Amino acid sequence: MSNLTIKDGEQKFNEYLENSGKAHATVIAYAKDIEQLTDFLGSRAKNDLAAVTTQDLEEYKEYLTKVYRSDKTVSRKVNSVKSYFRFLTDNHYIQDNPSRMVTQPQCEQTPPRVLTKTEYRALRDACRGDIRMLAVVETLLQTGMRISELANLKLDDIDFDRGFIAINTDDTYLNRKVPLNETAKKTLQAYLKVRPRAREKTLFLTKTCKPFLVRNIRKSLDRYFRLAGLGAGVKVNDLRHTFIVEQLRAGLPMVYVSQIVGHKRLTTTEKYLSFVQMPEYDANIKIETL
């Protein structure tokens, strides 16, 4: 058992995160959350990790509640704290885990939004004059990949002959091959005919031959959601939700669908089952059986 200062503990945890194989965005999020905790404890003159109590962490949770209006944000940050102290305990840096009895705020679970057949057709029509954005929409909708995964696609990741897209991420668990159906294949081939010629290997480029970044893809999609009249509540992830529901409706095994979309837990895929029997989501789009 070693006597670590608060700063030492933060450094140990950051080293663990860097070597954990987690996605870069996940590492950054955890690191920022623990940095915020360290600052809070420092303001309370807490310098020794062993001196941190459950009461200290409860007060930190109250502080987060005042700073952030979202219970979901507070819950995520409390989860980071729990992961942090579990790491410290498991590696014998501290003897007792003060976060064990800290409860997380109850978050209202918002059901996934699934596009109707009419909505999807409207979005496709809105993108018709923009081949790149039509390819973006079809790729997201027909493969169920995340927007970050789409932004990182390279030309070599697409195998038209064998009909799949290779997903390569910072998290090796999420690396996979996603089936490429005819709809997505034809749209991507049409985009490649007008794609700027550049040494850059990233699939989706801007007019200046720079990678089409996540924030810019999201901004462009939001614009086309508005043009399609889909309302302010539609998000990029709704294309992914629609894919998952359609694959389950098509009768694909839930385990297989979970693997295609890169869910780490089968329970994440299970939550979509309640949508499969709902008539208003019948035949949203025609996605080929994979």
CA distance 71 to 93: 30
Predicted confidence at residue 109, as pLDDT, reads: 62
Predicted confidence at residue 70, as pLDDT, reads: 78
Mean pLDDT of 126-136: 96
Mean pLDDT of 24-39: 88
pTM listed for this prediction: 0.66
Half-sphere exposure (Cβ direction) of 248: Cα atoms closer than 13 Å: 25
Instruction: Dig out the tokens for 273 from the structure.
Output: 């089952």
Which pLDDT tens digit goes with each residue over 188-221?
999 999 999 889 999 999 999 999 999 999 999 9
Q: Are 99 and 85 in contact (CB under 8 A)?
A: yes
Which pLDDT tens digit goes with each residue over 114-127?
998 899 889 999 99
Predicted confidence at residue 251, as pLDDT, reads: 86
Paired strand residues for 167: 176
CA distance 238 to 217: 15
Q: Quick one: what percent of the chain has pLDDT higher than 70?
A: 92
Q: What is the mean pLDDT of the chain?
A: 87
- Furthest C-alpha separation in the chain: 64
Q: What residues have CB less than 8 Å from 224, skipping those under 6 apart?
A: 123, 126, 127, 130, 133, 137
Structural domains in the chain?
6-90 (1.10.150), 117-281 (1.10.443.10)
